[in-house]
């Protein structure tokens, strides 16, 4: 009886411990530091925000640190201002730090594990690899004891322990420890000079447009370490001259095209006027025996002209108004016995 009672007390203690650990599943809030040395708030035991040495802001909005743990603790392998998701070994972790140092979390870009609330479910049957960086392969997570016990009791009963696993959460205390041991925040501040230099060089060498060079000149006129500004101005001015030349050429081509279109329109109008003049002259001189657009003229009676033009079911002879007659070559068409004058000159 006493043994059973002791087991119940032990189980209750473990469950309460699991609940306490679950309360750590929050993003890190970092206070302000007053020195360049790794500093920890004595009350919260959290790493303090460093004094900023640079106004540089990561274009991604974050800094990424590849850290590695060995017998001496954590050390920094690499810091970037762009995302990284590759590890060389299982002792390495990737931390993502936001601009204000207020949030530090492992950067699990891809994972095959499902997130359940504030915890991640991990199976002992799946052995994580270096490429599978997830809460289940991370040294910065801890077991959520309460959830894991419940899961494993059921799993062990059904599968004889083969499917037993655990629920893990990102452990703020472990992250704080890694940040302090590596002096990560000050390391990032020290690295900002390199980031800014890289951005400065990249902005110059990648500039391709007038706008690119204008921005580079505006951003770095007062901090041009490599004396790129004169070259940037020269390149920008060359692009401006090239743009002006292209615009001038385009304007000349447009002007030439407009002149050609105008000349063509004038020529077409002249030809139209000439045709109209010929038609009017033709109509004034109509007489029997002349040929027309609808064949030979049989008779002329003031404003009416009789022509010979066979139309199926409507006979061969037809009267047409003088001002609707055209010289030969304009075409002749009847619809339902009615003459259709050519549409234009």
Output the 3-class SS for 66-86.
EEEEECCEEEEEEEECCCCCC
| pLDDT value at 26 more than 60 | no
Where do we find the tokens 């020269």?
234
Distance separating alpha carbons of residues 245 and 239, to the nearest angstrom: 10
Distance separating alpha carbons of residues 272 and 259, to the nearest angstrom: 20
The mean per-residue pLDDT over the stretch 329-343 comes to: 93
- Spans of all domains in the chain: 2-197, 208-285, 291-340
Instruction: Return the pLDDT at 25.
Output: 39
Where do we find the tokens 């800014």?
196
Average pLDDT over the chain, rounded to an integer: 82
- Between 267 and 132, the more confident residue is 267
| pLDDT value at 322 more than 90 | yes
Distance separating alpha carbons of residues 234 and 256, to the nearest angstrom: 33
The mean per-residue pLDDT over the stretch 215-221 comes to: 96
The string of pLDDT tens digits covering residues 153-184 is 433 343 333 344 578 888 889 999 999 999 99
DSSP structural state of residue 134: S
3-class SS of residue 204: helix
| pLDDT value at 205 more than 60 | yes
CB distance 210 to 240 below 8 Å: yes
Distance separating alpha carbons of residues 167 and 149, to the nearest angstrom: 9
- φ, ψ at 91 (rounded to 5°): -90, 0
- φ, ψ at 175 (rounded to 5°): -65, -45
| pLDDT value at 35 more than 80 | no
| pLDDT value at 344 more than 90 | no
Where do we find the tokens 């995302």?
83
Instruction: Return the pLDDT at 170.
Output: 86
Confidence of residue 47 (pLDDT cuts 50, 70, 90): confident
The mean per-residue pLDDT over the stretch 187-196 comes to: 93
Q: Distance from CA of residue 108 to its chain's centroid?
A: 22
| Of 113-122, 146-155, 209-218, highest mean pLDDT | 209-218
Where do we find the tokens 């049957």?
125
Poorest-pLDDT segment among 1-15, 111-125, 236-250: 1-15
CB distance 127 to 150 below 8 Å: no
Instruction: Return the pLDDT at 156.
Output: 38
The mean per-residue pLDDT over the stretch 262-285 comes to: 94
Is the pTM higher than 0.85? The answer reads no
* Helices of type H across the chain: 2-22, 145-159, 172-182, 184-205, 210-220, 229-284
Poorest-pLDDT segment among 49-58, 178-187, 285-294: 49-58
Instruction: Return the pLDDT at 317.
Output: 96
Output the 3-class SS for 143-164.
ECHHHHHHHHHHHHHHHCCCCC
The mean per-residue pLDDT over the stretch 47-54 comes to: 84
Confidence of residue 345 (pLDDT cuts 50, 70, 90): low
């Amino acid at each position: 009886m006493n043994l059973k009672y002791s087991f119940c007390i032990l189980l209750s203690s473990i469950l309460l411990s699991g609940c306490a650990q679950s309360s750590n599943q929050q993003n890190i809030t970092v206070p302000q530091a007053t020195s360049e040395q790794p500093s920890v708030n004595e009350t919260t035991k959290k790493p303090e925000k460093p004094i900023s040495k640079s106004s540089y802001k990561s274009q991604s909005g974050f800094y990424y640190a590849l850290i590695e743990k060995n017998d001496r603790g954590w050390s920094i392998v690499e810091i970037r201002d762009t995302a990284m998701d590759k590890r060389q070994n299982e002792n390495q972790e990737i931390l993502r730090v936001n601009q204000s140092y207020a949030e530090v979390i492992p950067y699990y870009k891809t994972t095959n594990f499902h997130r359940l609330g504030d915890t991640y479910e991990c199976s002992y049957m799946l052995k994580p690899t270096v490429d599978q960086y997830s809460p289940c392969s991370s040294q910065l997570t801890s077991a959520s004891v309460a959830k894991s016990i419940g899961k494993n009791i059921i799993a062990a009963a059904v599968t004889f322990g083969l499917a037993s696993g655990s629920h893990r959460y990102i452990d703020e205390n472990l992250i704080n420890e890694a940040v302090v041991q590596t002096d990560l925040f000050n390391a990032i501040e020290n690295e900002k000079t390199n980031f800014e230099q890289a951005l400065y060089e990249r902005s110059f060498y990648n500039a391709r447009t007038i706008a690119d060079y204008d921005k580079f000149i505006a951003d770095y006129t007062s901090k041009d370490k490599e004396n790129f500004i004169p070259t940037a101005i020269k390149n920008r001015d060359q692009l401006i001259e090239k743009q002006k030349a292209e615009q001038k050429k385009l304007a000349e081509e447009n002007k030439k095209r407009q002149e050609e279109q105008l000349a063509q329109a004038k020529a077409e109008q002249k030809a139209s006027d000439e045709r109209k003049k010929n038609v009017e002259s033709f109509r004034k001189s109509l007489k029997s025996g002349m040929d027309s657009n609808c064949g030979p003229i049989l008779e002329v009676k003031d404003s009416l002209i009789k022509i010979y033009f066979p139309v199926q079911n409507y006979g061969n002879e037809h009267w047409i108004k003088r001002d609707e007659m055209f010289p030969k070559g304009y075409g002749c068409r009847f619809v339902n016995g009615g003459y259709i004058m050519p549409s234009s000159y």
